Chain A
Amino acid sequence: MKIQETQTQIKEVGVAPFSLPLRKFRQWKTGLIFVVLCISAGIFLIPFIWMLSTALKSPAEAVSNDIHIIPETFVWSNFSNALKAAPFLGYVGNSLIVAFFAVILTVFINCLAGFAFAKYEFKGRNVLFMMVLSTLMIPVQIIMVPNFYILKELEWLNTYSGLIIPRAAEAFGLFLARQYMMNIPNELIEAARIDGASEFKIFTKVVLPNVKPLIAVLIIFTFMWRWNDLIWPLIVVSDKAMYTVQLGLAIVKGEHYINWTILMCLTLLSIIPILIVFLLFQRYFVQGMANSGMKE
């Protein structure tokens, strides 16, 4: 990566082989690209800005005929009203618990399985892999009822176990892990074997430390999927105390009367945690995506 960066650097700044007029041209080009990116970024931000703007307006202003981006008066009480409308903080708590444990569990088992698929030859490998792939194509709606029965038998309805464990197996995460692990040099593994390490030890001491960026990717994706999941909690939970954030949001929307300012407040609150996670891990995340190579 570093070598590439330097090479790109040289190219852009226009040192050495390039003549002066060409350097200027490249600077203009960069400038133009920057402007284009700024405009595009601005367009992408509009929904967020609009949501924020609506959340801070008074209900009357939100539906007036004059629309301003910046509210006339900043109605911060919308947030406290929103939290009164539903025990939202409790929902956030539930979602956090679910997401936290799901991340740990999913990252672990996906890395493990990804390692196995990437570095081992075993009978049935391709068939099992196809099976994993096929799970992506099952619309959750049609397996809702059978899953309900299964969860009932396991007595996992309305429990954290029911929310966390079944969904810990995430096909996409497994693919990413496999892709990434295929790039680990076999020599490292062989060397560890020669040293007499057990297979699991190889996993924990040789493989895991080398896949840091992958772990970052899996953390972000898993957190995101669990946080945003609506259908699964809908199956598992009927007790209001166990609601997750998305369920809560769906109920508020289902009430007879939609108050858009409150809705936008709650929406805003519901996306803050995931945005924080993303911002924290962004660097590793991009690295991880890059090094997975996306090979077949």
Chain B
Amino acid sequence: MKKSIRKMMYGGITAILAMFMVVGCAATPESNSSSAPVKEGEQKPAATGGESQAKETIEFVYWAAAGGEEEGFKSVVADFEAKYPDIKVNAQQVPPPSKGDYYTKIQTRIAGDDAPDVFRVQYQKIGEFASQEALLDVTDVFAPEKDQYNSSLITAVTYNDKIFGLPHHTDTLAVFYNKTYLDKLGIKPPEKMEEAWTWEEFLDVAKKLQDEKLATYGVAFNWKDTSAYRSLPFFFQNGASLISDDLQQGNVQTPEAIETFTFLQDMFNNYMSQGNSMKGSDDVNLLFTTGKAGLLISGNWMIPKWEEEMKDYEWGVTYMPMKKSSASDLGGNALAAPVNTKHPEAAKKFLAFMGEKETMKKFIEMGLFLPGRTDIEGPFNYMVKEPALLDKFIEQSTTVPEAMAKTVTLTQFAKINQSLADGLEGLFMQGISPEDTAKTLNEQINQILSGK
């Protein structure tokens, strides 16, 4: 036994040394741009004299949360490479940013001068990058067609009058309802946005669902982790906002905002699951598919899942509730290039390509999104059974207020978002009064905006 262990040791050491020699050049079987310095962008006429064109490789970092997105990205990347044979795209799919690592990595890479060439970024985060001058100015690419894009989205990617990203797609929230239940109650949800439920009507439906013992919870809401901003629509529906119009200070202690907090608290306490708070661990989708929740506020990307999983109930989509006006959430993502990309021209080509009508149409059809452009003609062949459902979402996405776009694209929005999450958590789980919640949030926003 002793001999064999010694043999193993020697064998192991030899193996390690051998491995280092092989791996030591830092190239893995799938070579990647971040560790092989020589390849990128350099003309290699000497080494590969036979090639007529030098091949450039750009790195595109993105995440894909649902199945359709992944195929969508792969497909349009392939189309890009077909159109530009001298540019190769190294597409890196990484875990979604629901918990923070995604952006930290990209920021570290940019700061360390090892930036990717294009990356996917939420509208709520792009302001952070733009204000730190970390993004490539792409005004020359998109300014000419600026008006063909959703204006809120353009606002979201603009900073200091310069455009820093492509408004790739958007998605928004609406209300999914359990049709089987509503039929039993004899309720027909609004088919026109002007007839959307008011807050009171919305809660009334929830109440009936619970009273008739159809659903355990009238309402479920897909706000969790870092998505506290999904509650913002309700503020704007009531004519409130978190920040003053000049974006200089907090504006939370208005009667409208406090009324919104009251409404949200009421909704949570009486019509929602206790586990559906900001940090709660409920699986709201599961609640909906198993009929435990009758109404679910969530986004268009969920439709394929319902088609697959909602076997026991029929379901449908209706508009977000409204109070003084209609409003919904600014969702979706942009594509941007870091300011220190080593291939600015190729990156711009890539962004331009992704913004073209055909490319965008293809992507959103596969990914179940709403286009960033407003001039793409339907019908959209969404890969779902009932593409018409998306129409309500498309309509809803036009109600995203400009002010909301400005708010969420502030540099410090991540912190504001966290304060909002903390405030709502206290409102829901600790019974803090709406007035106190508003007061604390206002103070925190002021602190954040003043640079703390």
A residues in contact (CB < 8 Å) with B: 59-60, 63, 101, 104-105, 108, 144-145, 148-149, 152, 154-161, 204-205, 208-209, 212, 215, 234, 238-242, 247, 250-251, 254-258
Q: List 16 A-B contacts (CB under 8 A).
A: A63-B290, A101-B19, A104-B13, A104-B16, A145-B104, A149-B112, A155-B35, A157-B35, A159-B26, A159-B28, A209-B5, A240-B92, A242-B30, A251-B96, A258-B283, A258-B285
Bound-complex Cα distance A18 to B93 (A):
71
- The interface centre, meaning the residue of A105, A155, A156 with most chain B CB atoms within 10 A of its CB, is A155
Nearest CB on A from B230, distance (A) = 13
Does B65 reach chain A (CB closer than 8 Å)?
A: yes
Bound-complex Cα distance A87 to B305 (A):
21
Does B301 reach chain A (CB closer than 8 Å)?
A: yes
Contacting residues, chain B, for A251 (C-beta < 8 A):
95-96
Contacting residues, chain A, for B92 (C-beta < 8 A):
238-240
Bound-complex Cα distance A242 to B305 (A):
29
Question: Quick one: closest A residue to B19, CB to CB?
Answer: A101
Bound-complex Cα distance A11 to B26 (A):
61
Contacting residues, chain B, for A63 (C-beta < 8 A):
286, 290
Q: Please tell me if the beta carbons of A148 and B108 are within 8 angstroms of each other in the complex.
A: yes
Specify which of B13, B15, B26, B305 is in contact with A156 (CB 8 Å cutoff): B26
Contacting residues, chain B, for A247 (C-beta < 8 A):
95
Specify which of B6, B23, B29, B66 is in contact with A255 (CB 8 Å cutoff): B66
Bound-complex Cα distance A208 to B27 (A):
35
Given contacts A104-B12, A108-B9, contact A158 B285 (CB under 8 A): no
Contacting residues, chain B, for A212 (C-beta < 8 A):
1-2, 5
Question: Quick one: closest A residue to B28, CB to CB?
Answer: A159
Contacting residues, chain B, for A257 (C-beta < 8 A):
66, 285, 302, 305, 309
Specify which of A60, A160, A208, A241 is in contact with B5 (CB 8 Å cutoff): A208
Q: Please tell me if the beta carbons of B1 and A155 are within 8 angstroms of each other in the complex.
A: no
A-B contacts besides A157-B35, A158-B35, A256-B66, 18 pairs, CB < 8 Å: A59-B309, A105-B16, A148-B108, A152-B34, A154-B26, A158-B28, A159-B35, A160-B23, A161-B20, A161-B23, A208-B2, A208-B6, A239-B92, A251-B96, A254-B65, A255-B65, A255-B66, A258-B283
Question: Quick one: closest A residue to B305, CB to CB?
Answer: A257
Q: Please tell me if the beta carbons of B311 and A60 are within 8 angstroms of each other in the complex.
A: yes
Given contacts A63-B286, A63-B290, A234-B101, contact A239 B65 (CB under 8 A): no
B residues in contact (CB < 8 Å) with A: 1-2, 5-6, 9, 12-13, 15-16, 19-20, 23-24, 26-30, 32, 34-37, 61, 65-66, 92-96, 98-99, 101, 104-105, 108-109, 112, 114, 283, 285-286, 290, 301-302, 305, 309, 311
Question: Quick one: closest A residue to B114, CB to CB?
Answer: A152
Nearest CB on B from A136, distance (A) = 23
Contacting residues, chain A, for B283 (C-beta < 8 A):
258
Contacting residues, chain A, for B96 (C-beta < 8 A):
251, 254-255
Given contacts A63-B290, A152-B114, A254-B96, contact A158 B34 (CB under 8 A): yes
Contacting residues, chain A, for B2 (C-beta < 8 A):
208-209, 212
Nearest CB on B from A84, distance (A) = 10
Closest 4 pairs between A and B when the two form their complex, measured CB to CB: A209-B2, A104-B12, A155-B26, A241-B30
Nearest CB on A from B47, distance (A) = 20
Contacting residues, chain B, for A205 (C-beta < 8 A):
6
Q: Please tell me if the beta carbons of A101 and B6 are within 8 angstroms of each other in the complex.
A: no
Nearest CB on B from A129, distance (A) = 25
Bound-complex Cα distance A155 to B28 (A):
11
Q: Please tell me if the beta carbons of B1 and A160 are within 8 angstroms of each other in the complex.
A: no
Contacting residues, chain A, for B305 (C-beta < 8 A):
256-257
Q: Please tell me if the beta carbons of A208 and B35 are within 8 angstroms of each other in the complex.
A: no
Q: Please tell me if the beta carbons of A239 and B30 are within 8 angstroms of each other in the complex.
A: yes
Nearest CB on A from B107, distance (A) = 9
Given contacts A255-B66, A256-B302, contact A241 B12 (CB under 8 A): no
